[in-house]
Structure 1
Amino acid sequence: MKKEKYLISIVGPTAIGKTALSIKLANHFKTEIISADSRQFFKEMSIGTAAPTSSELSAARHHFIHHKSVKEDYNVGEFERDAIEKLNYLFKEHDVVIMVGGSGLYVDAVVNGLDDFPNIDPNIREFLNLQLETNGLEYLQNKLKELDPISYQNTTIDNPHRVIRALEVSIGTGKPYSSFLNQKKSNRNFNTISIGLDADRQTIYNRINLRVDKMVKEGLLEEVKALLPMRHLNALNTVGYKELFHYLNGECTLEFAVSEIKKNSRRFAKRQLTWFRKNKNILWFDFESDIKNIIKAIENQIEKV
C-alpha cells in the first residue's frame, strides 16, 4: 500500500543554501521544518553554527533549533527518538514535512534508523578518555587506523567523541566498528525524498570563506568568549569554536584562528559531500537552481512512490 506521508530531506555541504531552500519548500507545501544539524541544537551556539536567523525562524516553523544547552548530553540516538516522535505528530497535520541539515549521521538516523551495536564495557570508554588526555587525539586516530581502517577513512577523525566511539566498539567486541554498520534498517511509516544542493569546489570554498567573515563581523568572538569556561564540553569541540579558544588562550593570533576556521570548514564540507554522495537516492541540484525545478522533481517523486 502506498504511503501517504513524505519527508523531504535537504542535504549538502555547509554554506550551500540549505536553510533558504528549506524555508521556500516549507512555504510551498505549507508545512514545518525539523533540523538535523547537530550543532544548531544548542542555544549557546548561534553565530558559529549559522543557525537560522529570527526572520528565517519566523518565515516557517522550525523544530530542534536551540532546544538544548551545551551543558546537556544529547546524542544521535536521543535525536532519532525525538525526531521520529515529532514527525509522527507533524504527520497528523501535514502530508509533507521538511528536514534540513548537514550532519549525515543524524540525517541517516531519521531516514533509516541507527545501527544496532552490542553493549560495551564502560571501562573501555574511561580508558580511552584517559588516553585522549594523556597521549592526545592523534594517538587515538592512529589506533583506529590500525584496528579499523574503514572507520578511519569514514569517521570525522577530528571529533574525539566519534573516534572514541569507533574504538570502544572495536576493542570491546574484537570486531571493527565498521562491521556493525548498515546491518539493519528501521521501518518508517513515511517515504523520504532526498534533495542535495551542490556547486563546484571553488564556489563552495568561496561561500564558506564569506560566511566565516560574516560570522566574525556578527560577533562570533564574543559568543566564543562567553563559552570559554565550558570549552571542555564535547559540543564545543567543533569548527568555529575550538580555533577561537586557541586564540583566547594566547596560542595564536586572531587572523590565524580565523584562517583555521575557514580551512577546517572547507575540510568539513569535503567530508559532508563524501558522506552524502554514497547515497544514490539523493536528487542533486546546483545551489542556484530555480525553486520551480526542485518542486517539480519532488512532485514527480511523490507521484512515483
Structure 2
Amino acid sequence: MGDKKTCIVIVGPTASGKTKLSLQLAEYFKTDIISADSRQCYRELNIGVAKPDEKALAEIRHYFINSHSIHDDVNAAVFETYALTAVEAIFAEKDYAVMVGGTGLYIKSFCEGMDDMPDIDSSVRESLRNEYNSKGIDWLKEMLKTHDALFYSRGEMLNPQRMLRALEVKLSTGKSVLAFHTAEKKQRPFNIIKVGIDVPREVLYEQVNKRVDMMMEAGLAEEVKSLNDHRYINALQTVGYKELFEYIDGKVSLEKAVDNIKQNTRHYAKRQMTWFRRDEEIKWLGKNADDYIRFVNDRRGYF
C-alpha cells in the first residue's frame, strides 16, 4: 500500500444501516468519520435527518455533522472542499478515514472532483428561485422530469439547491448538468475503497417504514413545528419535513402525512440505488462488519 493513506467510503440507500457500519469500521480502524449526507450538516435538523446519537458523536469524531446552518448555501463543491480539508486533518494522525453517506453527488465530488460549471445569468437564477418559492418542490420535480429526465433519474431529489442548479443549467445551456460531469477524475493523494450495503428491497422498505415510525415517536412533528418560521428555506424542502408542513397547514391528516413520508423515503431510496449501482468501483456486501473489515484489509495489497 506504500505510504498512501486510505479512505473507506460507505454508501447505500437511506435506512440501510450505514451509520451503524461506519461506527463499527471507525472503531476497528481507530479513526474518524466524515458524513456525506446533504442534510445532516444542518444544526437545526435532527430527528428527521437521522443523525448519529449523542453517544456516537461523543465517542467518535464526526465531520460535516452540525457544521452548517440551514441559512448557509451548501452544495457539492462546498462539500468537496470541506471533506478534503477534513480528510487531510484525519490523515495527519491516522492511516484510515471513514466516509459514510447516501448523497451520491457529494461522494462523487470527494472521490473524483468537480467539473467547471457554466456561468448562469443571475436573472435566470432569481426567476427560477422565485417561481420555486411560489410553487414548491413538486413543481421543481416536474420541471426537472420534463426538461432534464437524466438528472431526475439519478435520484438527487432531496436537495432543492442542487435541483434548482440542474434546472437553471439545462434552461440556460440546453445541456443536462450531468453533461458537465465528464472531466477526467482528479487523482487524490490517498487511496479510496468504496463499499456499499446491499439490502433486499423488501427488507429495506420495511426498515424505512420502521424508521419513520421511530422518528414520529421521537418527536419529529414537534421538530418540524419548531421550524415552521423557516419552512421556505431550501434545506427544509425535503422528505420528512415538507410532508409535515402540509399537516400543519391542515392539508392532510397526520396519518396521511406519515404515509407520505414513508412513500417518499422509499422512492428516494430507490433513486439512490439507481445512482450507486452505476459505480462499478463499489463492492457490495451485506450487514456483517467483519466482511467489510476483511475486504478492506485484503485490498491493501492492491495499492
Residue 75 of structure 1 corresponds to which residue in structure 2? 75
Aligned length: 303
TM-score between the two structures when normalised by the length of structure 1: 0.93
Q: CA deviation at 1:200?
A: 0.8
Residue 261 of structure 2 corresponds to which residue in structure 1? 261
In the alignment, is residue 36 of structure 1 matched against residue 44 of structure 2? no
Residue 10 of structure 1 corresponds to which residue in structure 2? 10
Specify the code of the residue in structure 1 equivalent to 2:124. Answer: I
Q: CA deviation at 1:61?
A: 1.5
Question: For residues 149-208 of structure 1, what are the alpha-carbon distances to aligned partners after superposition, in whole Å with 9 as ceiling and x for unaligned?
Answer: 322322535754333212211222233323212323222111110110021111001111
Residue 300 of structure 2 corresponds to which residue in structure 1? 302
Residue 182 of structure 1 corresponds to which residue in structure 2? 182
Specify the code of the residue in structure 2 equivalent to 1:203. Answer: V
Q: CA deviation at 1:148?
A: 3.4
Change (3 A) 1:69 1:264: same
Specify the code of the residue in structure 2 equivalent to 1:301. Answer: R
Question: For residues 206-240 of structure 1, what are the alpha-carbon distances to aligned partners after superposition, in whole Å with 9 as ceiling and x for unaligned?
Answer: 11111111111111111111101100000111111
User: Residue 197 of structure 2: SS of its match in structure 1?
Assistant: strand
Aligned pairs for 1:225-264 within 5 A: 225-264=225-264
* Distance (whole Å) between structure 2 residues aligned to residue 51 and residue 10 of structure 1: 16
In the alignment, is residue 93 of structure 1 matched against residue 93 of structure 2? yes
Q: CA deviation at 1:95?
A: 1.1
Specify the code of the residue in structure 2 equivalent to 1:117. Answer: M
In the alignment, is residue 53 of structure 1 matched against residue 92 of structure 2? no
Change (3 A) 1:112 1:3: farther
Q: CA deviation at 1:4?
A: 1.4
Residue 27 of structure 2 corresponds to which residue in structure 1? 27
* Distance (whole Å) between structure 1 residues aligned to residue 172 and residue 18 of structure 2: 38
* Distance (whole Å) between structure 2 residues aligned to residue 47 and residue 219 of structure 1: 7
Change (3 A) 1:293 1:152: closer
Q: CA deviation at 1:139?
A: 5.2
User: Residue 43 of structure 2: SS of its match in structure 1?
Assistant: coil
Change (3 A) 1:90 1:146: same
- Structure 1 portions without partners, runs of 5+: none
Residue 210 of structure 1 corresponds to which residue in structure 2? 210
* Distance (whole Å) between structure 1 residues aligned to residue 76 and residue 89 of structure 2: 20
In the alignment, is residue 105 of structure 1 matched against residue 115 of structure 2? no
Q: CA deviation at 1:146?
A: 4.7
Residue 120 of structure 1 corresponds to which residue in structure 2? 120
In the alignment, is residue 168 of structure 1 matched against residue 168 of structure 2? yes
What is the RMSD of the two structures over their aligned residues, measured on CA atoms? 1.9
User: Residue 34 of structure 1: SS of its match in structure 2?
Assistant: strand
* Distance (whole Å) between structure 1 residues aligned to residue 161 and residue 66 of structure 2: 21
Contact 1:12 1:276 in 2 (8 A): yes
* Distance (whole Å) between structure 2 residues aligned to residue 139 and residue 249 of structure 1: 19
* Distance (whole Å) between structure 1 residues aligned to residue 231 and residue 134 of structure 2: 18
* Distance (whole Å) between structure 2 residues aligned to residue 99 and residue 139 of structure 1: 33
User: Identity across aligned pairs (percent)?
Assistant: 44
Contact 1:3 1:189 in 2 (8 A): no
Q: CA deviation at 1:268?
A: 0.8
User: Residue 227 of structure 2: SS of its match in structure 1?
Assistant: helix
Specify the code of the residue in structure 1 equivalent to 2:292. Answer: I
Contact 1:155 1:163 in 2 (8 A): no
TM-score between the two structures when normalised by the length of structure 2: 0.94
* Distance (whole Å) between structure 1 residues aligned to residue 241 and residue 141 of structure 2: 21
Specify the code of the residue in structure 2 equivalent to 1:38. Answer: S
Deviates further, 181-190 or 295-304 = 181-190
Change (3 A) 1:189 1:141: same
Change (3 A) 1:136 1:258: closer
Contact 2:132 2:140 in 1 (8 A): yes
Contact 2:155 2:274 in 1 (8 A): no
Q: CA deviation at 1:118?
A: 1.8
- Structure 2 portions without partners, runs of 5+: none
